[in-house]
């Protein structure tokens, strides 16, 4: 199996791991640098945002990439938008008939259902691990937001083909971010976002806010009603069909 990846990449192929993010962090501790990529067929302890688990049966894509951009750690969250754009490109290529949109902060929706997740974590001594899970063959049920798998639109897509497309686009967008900063990434993200100018519900740890989604600030925070700045939360679209596919 020859895998076509950008030249800087070093693939660490695994059948089964706890979490590809943890595997990538161990590699970073052992000296692995930018471009080290862990790809596993399944995870027994896949992790999601906000302490959730990420169901990881065989057939989907689970990967984690070490990046070492020379920026303060607080800018790492911008990479979630870079990765979401790369996943949206993959989804548009694999499922051209689906409506592919971005949901803050880092979700990709196909016809309104979540098809992927992104988990960014520090990778000591000086890197960041960008973990991505993409539902290719199956989607979990009972999730906070309805989920779907790309097989609903394209039954021929393999995890390998998805990984190749994803990494090629990710590397291009990462280059754009490194050379020109977050603003062009923000513009691209906003032009593919769901719900701009519409009412949103944002579930925070301790309360729920509603308001009109007016944009993102220069750090990627969600702006409601032109002034309310939100750094972490789960977005829902009141009135949209959010039943499971």
Instruction: Give the binding site for ligand BTN (CB under 6 A).
Output: 19-21, 43, 46-49, 52, 54, 62, 64, 117-119, 131-133
**Cβ distance to ligand BTN smaller for residue 95 or 166:** 166
Nearest approach in angstroms of CB 226 to ligand BTN is 27
Q: Give the residues across from 108 on adjacent strands.
A: 102
Q: Structure tokens of 216?
A: 């993102």
Task: Give the helix ranges, DSSP H, for 128-202.
Answer: 159-180, 182-191
**Cβ distance to ligand BTN smaller for residue 49 or 212:** 49
Nearest approach in angstroms of CB 153 to ligand BTN is 20
Element (H, E) at 140: none
Q: Which of 79, 81, 97, 237 is nearest to 153 (CA)?
A: 97
Residue 160: what are its φ and ψ, rounded to 5°? Answer: -65, -45
Nearest approach in angstroms of CB 113 to ligand BTN is 13
**Cβ distance to ligand BTN smaller for residue 61 or 224:** 61
Peptide bond connecting 29 to the previous residue in cis, omega within 30 degrees of 0: no
Nearest approach in angstroms of CB 231 to ligand BTN is 16
Element (H, E) at 61: strand 61-67
Q: Tell me the three state secondary structure of residue 241.
A: coil
Nearest approach in angstroms of CB 49 to ligand BTN is 4
**Cβ distance to ligand BTN smaller for residue 46 or 220:** 46
Nearest approach in angstroms of CB 145 to ligand BTN is 9
**Cβ distance to ligand BTN smaller for residue 38 or 157:** 38
Chain position carrying tokens 């992790």 = 47
Task: Give the helix ranges, DSSP H, for 181-222.
Answer: 182-191
**Roughly what angle, to the nearest 10 degrees, separates helices 159-180 and 78-94?**
140
Peptide bond connecting 125 to the previous residue in cis, omega within 30 degrees of 0: yes
**Cβ distance to ligand BTN smaller for residue 22 or 89:** 22
């Amino acid at each position: 199996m020859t895998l076509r990846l950008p030249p800087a990449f070093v693939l660490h192929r695994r059948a089964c791991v706890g979490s590809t993010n943890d595997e990538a962090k161990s590699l970073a501790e052992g000296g692995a640098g930018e471009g080290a990529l862990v790809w596993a067929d399944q995870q027994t302890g896949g992790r999601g945002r906000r302490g959730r688990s990420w169901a990881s049966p065989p057939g989907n894509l689970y990967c984690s990439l070490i990046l070492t951009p020379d920026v303060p750690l607080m800018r790492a969250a911008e990479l979630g938008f870079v990765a979401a754009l790369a996943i949206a490109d993959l989804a548009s290529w694999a499922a051209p008939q689906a409506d592919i949109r971005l949901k803050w902060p880092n979700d990709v929706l196909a016809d309104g259902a979540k098809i992927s997740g992104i988990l960014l974590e520090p990778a000591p001594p000086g890197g960041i691990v960008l973990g991505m899970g993409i539902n290719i063959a199956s989607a979990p049920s009972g999730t906070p937001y309805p989920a779907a798998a790309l097989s609903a639109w394209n039954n021929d897509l393999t995890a390998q083909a998805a990984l190749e497309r994803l990494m090629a686009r990710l590397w291009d967008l990462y280059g754009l971010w490194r050379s020109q900063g977050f603003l062009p990434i923000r513009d691209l993200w906003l032009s593919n976002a769901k719900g701009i100018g519409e009412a949103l519900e944002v579930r925070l740890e301790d309360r729920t806010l509603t308001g009109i989604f007016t944009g993102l600030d220069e750090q990627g925070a969600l702006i409601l009603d032109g002034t309310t700045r939100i750094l972490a939360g789960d977005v829902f679209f009141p009135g949209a069909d959010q039943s499971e596919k």
